[in-house]
Structure 1
Amino acid sequence: MNLRYRRNKLMTRCLINFIAILITGHLLDGIVVNSLIAVLAAAFVLGIVNTFIRPILVILSLPLTIITLGLFTFVINALMLLLTASLIPGFSISSFWTAFFGAIIISILSSIILAVFD
Protein backbone atom coordinates (compact mmCIF):
# COMPACT_ATOMS: atom_id res chain seq x y z
CA MET A 1 0.00 0.00 0.00
CA ASN A 2 1.25 3.41 -0.72
CA LEU A 3 1.65 6.15 1.86
CA ARG A 4 -1.13 8.32 0.42
CA TYR A 5 -3.70 5.52 0.77
CA ARG A 6 -2.69 4.89 4.39
CA ARG A 7 -2.84 8.59 5.22
CA ASN A 8 -6.31 8.91 3.67
CA LYS A 9 -7.50 5.82 5.54
CA LEU A 10 -6.16 7.20 8.84
CA MET A 11 -7.82 10.57 8.21
CA THR A 12 -11.12 8.86 7.36
CA ARG A 13 -11.00 6.78 10.56
CA CYS A 14 -10.13 9.89 12.56
CA LEU A 15 -13.13 11.75 11.11
CA ILE A 16 -15.44 8.80 11.80
CA ASN A 17 -14.13 8.56 15.39
CA PHE A 18 -14.62 12.33 15.77
CA ILE A 19 -18.29 12.11 14.80
CA ALA A 20 -18.89 8.96 16.87
CA ILE A 21 -17.23 10.38 20.01
CA LEU A 22 -19.12 13.65 19.65
CA ILE A 23 -22.48 11.86 19.40
CA THR A 24 -21.61 9.45 22.23
CA GLY A 25 -20.64 12.37 24.45
CA HIS A 26 -24.14 13.77 23.97
CA LEU A 27 -25.85 10.42 24.57
CA LEU A 28 -24.06 9.35 27.77
CA ASP A 29 -23.88 11.58 30.83
CA GLY A 30 -20.64 9.99 32.08
CA ILE A 31 -18.63 11.01 29.01
CA VAL A 32 -17.63 14.66 29.26
CA VAL A 33 -16.16 16.53 26.30
CA ASN A 34 -15.10 20.12 26.97
CA SER A 35 -14.35 21.25 23.42
CA LEU A 36 -14.20 20.23 19.80
CA ILE A 37 -10.41 20.28 20.06
CA ALA A 38 -10.64 17.66 22.83
CA VAL A 39 -12.91 15.52 20.62
CA LEU A 40 -10.50 15.85 17.70
CA ALA A 41 -7.54 14.91 19.90
CA ALA A 42 -9.49 11.99 21.39
CA ALA A 43 -10.44 10.75 17.91
CA PHE A 44 -6.82 10.89 16.79
CA VAL A 45 -5.48 9.20 19.92
CA LEU A 46 -8.22 6.55 19.83
CA GLY A 47 -7.23 5.77 16.24
CA ILE A 48 -3.57 5.45 17.23
CA VAL A 49 -4.40 3.33 20.30
CA ASN A 50 -6.66 1.06 18.26
CA THR A 51 -3.97 0.69 15.61
CA PHE A 52 -1.04 -0.16 17.85
CA ILE A 53 -2.15 -1.28 21.33
CA ARG A 54 -5.52 -2.96 20.72
CA PRO A 55 -4.16 -5.72 18.41
CA ILE A 56 -1.61 -6.70 21.05
CA LEU A 57 -4.31 -6.93 23.73
CA VAL A 58 -6.57 -8.91 21.41
CA ILE A 59 -3.84 -11.47 20.79
CA LEU A 60 -2.87 -11.70 24.47
CA SER A 61 -6.49 -12.15 25.54
CA LEU A 62 -7.44 -14.58 22.77
CA PRO A 63 -8.15 -17.53 25.11
CA LEU A 64 -10.44 -15.36 27.25
CA THR A 65 -12.10 -13.96 24.14
CA ILE A 66 -12.77 -17.49 22.87
CA ILE A 67 -14.18 -18.61 26.23
CA THR A 68 -16.53 -15.60 26.35
CA LEU A 69 -17.51 -16.09 22.70
CA GLY A 70 -16.02 -12.74 21.73
CA LEU A 71 -17.66 -10.66 24.44
CA PHE A 72 -14.30 -9.84 26.03
CA THR A 73 -13.60 -7.70 22.97
CA PHE A 74 -16.07 -5.17 24.40
CA VAL A 75 -13.93 -4.98 27.55
CA ILE A 76 -10.83 -4.33 25.42
CA ASN A 77 -12.68 -1.57 23.55
CA ALA A 78 -13.71 0.00 26.87
CA LEU A 79 -10.11 -0.12 28.09
CA MET A 80 -8.92 1.58 24.90
CA LEU A 81 -11.49 4.31 25.43
CA LEU A 82 -10.43 4.74 29.08
CA LEU A 83 -6.79 4.93 28.00
CA THR A 84 -7.68 7.62 25.48
CA ALA A 85 -9.60 9.58 28.12
CA SER A 86 -6.64 9.41 30.49
CA LEU A 87 -4.33 10.87 27.84
CA ILE A 88 -6.54 13.73 26.60
CA PRO A 89 -7.34 16.71 28.84
CA GLY A 90 -10.90 17.86 28.32
CA PHE A 91 -12.15 14.35 27.57
CA SER A 92 -13.18 12.31 30.60
CA ILE A 93 -15.14 9.18 31.38
CA SER A 94 -16.70 8.67 34.79
CA SER A 95 -16.50 4.87 35.13
CA PHE A 96 -15.62 1.60 33.46
CA TRP A 97 -19.27 0.88 32.69
CA THR A 98 -19.69 4.25 31.03
CA ALA A 99 -16.62 3.45 28.93
CA PHE A 100 -18.05 -0.01 28.20
CA PHE A 101 -21.35 1.32 26.89
CA GLY A 102 -19.61 4.26 25.23
CA ALA A 103 -17.32 1.88 23.35
CA ILE A 104 -20.34 -0.11 22.16
CA ILE A 105 -22.08 3.06 20.97
CA ILE A 106 -18.91 4.32 19.26
CA SER A 107 -18.48 0.97 17.51
CA ILE A 108 -22.07 0.96 16.29
CA LEU A 109 -21.93 4.57 15.13
CA SER A 110 -18.58 4.00 13.41
CA SER A 111 -19.99 1.02 11.55
CA ILE A 112 -23.05 2.97 10.45
CA ILE A 113 -21.04 6.00 9.35
CA LEU A 114 -18.53 3.82 7.49
CA ALA A 115 -21.35 1.94 5.74
CA VAL A 116 -23.03 5.19 4.67
CA PHE A 117 -19.91 6.91 3.35
CA ASP A 118 -18.07 3.87 1.94
Structure 2
Amino acid sequence: MQNILIKVLVNAVAIWVATAVIPGVEVSGDSTGRTIVTLLVVGAIFGVVNAIIKPVVKLFSFPFYILTLGLFAFVVNALMLELVAWLSDQLSISFTIDDFFWSAIGAAVVVTFVSMVLNLVLPDSD
Protein backbone atom coordinates (compact mmCIF):
# COMPACT_ATOMS: atom_id res chain seq x y z
CA MET A 1 0.00 0.00 0.00
CA GLN A 2 2.83 2.37 0.86
CA ASN A 3 4.44 1.67 -2.52
CA ILE A 4 1.23 2.69 -4.34
CA LEU A 5 0.99 5.92 -2.35
CA ILE A 6 4.62 6.75 -3.17
CA LYS A 7 3.96 6.15 -6.88
CA VAL A 8 0.87 8.39 -6.80
CA LEU A 9 2.88 11.09 -5.00
CA VAL A 10 5.73 10.81 -7.53
CA ASN A 11 3.23 11.08 -10.41
CA ALA A 12 1.56 14.09 -8.78
CA VAL A 13 4.89 15.90 -8.25
CA ALA A 14 6.00 15.10 -11.81
CA ILE A 15 2.74 16.45 -13.24
CA TRP A 16 3.00 19.54 -11.01
CA VAL A 17 6.51 20.23 -12.35
CA ALA A 18 5.22 19.76 -15.90
CA THR A 19 2.45 22.29 -15.27
CA ALA A 20 5.00 24.74 -13.91
CA VAL A 21 7.44 24.32 -16.82
CA ILE A 22 5.34 23.57 -19.91
CA PRO A 23 2.86 26.17 -21.16
CA GLY A 24 -0.45 24.62 -22.15
CA VAL A 25 -0.52 22.03 -19.36
CA GLU A 26 -2.73 23.12 -16.47
CA VAL A 27 -4.09 21.77 -13.22
CA SER A 28 -6.35 24.15 -11.38
CA GLY A 29 -8.40 24.32 -8.25
CA ASP A 30 -10.21 26.95 -6.22
CA SER A 31 -7.51 26.96 -3.56
CA THR A 32 -4.09 25.52 -2.94
CA GLY A 33 -5.61 22.57 -1.10
CA ARG A 34 -7.95 21.77 -3.98
CA THR A 35 -5.07 22.05 -6.44
CA ILE A 36 -3.04 19.57 -4.39
CA VAL A 37 -5.98 17.15 -4.22
CA THR A 38 -6.49 17.54 -7.96
CA LEU A 39 -2.80 16.78 -8.55
CA LEU A 40 -3.04 13.67 -6.38
CA VAL A 41 -6.16 12.47 -8.21
CA VAL A 42 -4.54 13.12 -11.59
CA GLY A 43 -1.42 11.29 -10.37
CA ALA A 44 -3.58 8.31 -9.37
CA ILE A 45 -5.36 8.30 -12.74
CA PHE A 46 -1.99 8.52 -14.51
CA GLY A 47 -0.75 5.55 -12.46
CA VAL A 48 -3.79 3.46 -13.37
CA VAL A 49 -3.49 4.37 -17.06
CA ASN A 50 0.23 3.51 -16.98
CA ALA A 51 -0.47 0.18 -15.29
CA ILE A 52 -3.33 -0.96 -17.52
CA ILE A 53 -3.19 0.71 -20.92
CA LYS A 54 0.48 1.60 -21.42
CA PRO A 55 1.72 -2.03 -21.61
CA VAL A 56 -0.74 -2.78 -24.42
CA VAL A 57 0.29 0.36 -26.33
CA LYS A 58 3.97 -0.49 -25.83
CA LEU A 59 3.40 -3.99 -27.17
CA PHE A 60 1.76 -2.77 -30.35
CA SER A 61 4.25 0.07 -30.86
CA PHE A 62 7.35 -2.05 -30.23
CA PRO A 63 8.66 -1.65 -33.82
CA PHE A 64 8.59 2.14 -33.37
CA TYR A 65 10.61 1.80 -30.16
CA ILE A 66 13.23 -0.14 -32.13
CA LEU A 67 13.25 2.29 -35.07
CA THR A 68 13.60 5.37 -32.85
CA LEU A 69 16.01 3.75 -30.37
CA GLY A 70 13.52 4.26 -27.54
CA LEU A 71 12.58 7.88 -28.22
CA PHE A 72 9.08 6.74 -29.12
CA ALA A 73 8.57 6.30 -25.36
CA PHE A 74 8.00 10.06 -25.12
CA VAL A 75 5.22 9.82 -27.71
CA VAL A 76 3.60 6.95 -25.80
CA ASN A 77 3.87 8.91 -22.53
CA ALA A 78 2.32 11.92 -24.27
CA LEU A 79 -0.55 9.71 -25.45
CA MET A 80 -1.04 8.49 -21.88
CA LEU A 81 -1.10 12.10 -20.63
CA GLU A 82 -3.67 12.99 -23.30
CA LEU A 83 -5.76 10.03 -22.19
CA VAL A 84 -5.50 11.19 -18.56
CA ALA A 85 -6.57 14.69 -19.64
CA TRP A 86 -9.57 13.23 -21.46
CA LEU A 87 -10.51 11.03 -18.48
CA SER A 88 -10.11 14.02 -16.17
CA ASP A 89 -12.48 16.02 -18.35
CA GLN A 90 -15.02 13.18 -18.20
CA LEU A 91 -14.71 13.11 -14.39
CA SER A 92 -14.89 16.93 -14.09
CA ILE A 93 -11.32 17.19 -12.84
CA SER A 94 -9.48 20.30 -14.02
CA PHE A 95 -6.43 18.88 -15.83
CA THR A 96 -5.97 20.11 -19.39
CA ILE A 97 -3.39 19.83 -22.15
CA ASP A 98 -3.74 22.36 -24.96
CA ASP A 99 -2.12 20.56 -27.88
CA PHE A 100 -0.42 17.25 -28.53
CA PHE A 101 2.86 18.14 -30.13
CA TRP A 102 4.35 20.84 -27.94
CA SER A 103 2.40 20.62 -24.72
CA ALA A 104 1.84 16.87 -24.39
CA ILE A 105 5.26 15.77 -25.65
CA GLY A 106 6.99 18.45 -23.56
CA ALA A 107 5.01 17.37 -20.51
CA ALA A 108 5.86 13.73 -21.23
CA VAL A 109 9.57 14.57 -21.29
CA VAL A 110 9.32 16.50 -18.02
CA VAL A 111 7.17 13.84 -16.31
CA THR A 112 9.54 11.08 -17.43
CA PHE A 113 12.65 12.81 -16.12
CA VAL A 114 11.11 14.02 -12.86
CA SER A 115 9.66 10.55 -12.18
CA MET A 116 13.02 8.97 -12.94
CA VAL A 117 14.86 11.29 -10.53
CA LEU A 118 12.26 10.90 -7.77
CA ASN A 119 12.24 7.11 -8.13
CA LEU A 120 16.03 7.11 -7.72
CA VAL A 121 15.85 9.31 -4.61
CA LEU A 122 12.88 7.72 -2.85
CA PRO A 123 13.33 4.29 -1.25
CA ASP A 124 11.60 1.32 -2.80
CA SER A 125 9.42 -0.38 -0.21
CA ASP A 126 9.13 -3.80 -1.87
TM-score (norm 1): 0.89
Structure 1 stretches of at least 4 aligned residues deviating more than 4 Å after TM superposition: none
Instruction: Report what 1:93 is aligned to.
Output: 97
Instruction: Report what 1:22 is aligned to.
Output: 16
Letter in 1 for 2:56: I
Q: Matches of 1:105 and 1:65 in 2, distance apart? A: 19
The CA deviation string for residues 12-33 of structure 1, in whole angstroms up to 9 with x for no partner, is 1101011111121111121111
Q: CA RMSD in A?
A: 1.1
The question of 1:38 aligning with 2:38 is answered yes
Q: Matches of 1:113 and 1:68 in 2, distance apart? A: 26
The question of 1:102 aligning with 2:107 is answered yes
Higher relative contact order (CA 8 A, sep 6+): 2
SS of the equivalent of 2:26 reads strand
The CA deviation string for residues 75-95 of structure 1, in whole angstroms up to 9 with x for no partner, is 100000010011112000001
Q: Matches of 2:17 and 2:69 in 1, distance apart? A: 29
TM-score (norm 2): 0.84
Structure 2 gaps, min length 5? 29-34
- Report the Cα offset of residue 41 of structure 1: 1.2
The question of 1:66 aligning with 2:66 is answered yes
Aligned length: 112
Structure 1 gaps, min length 5? 1-6
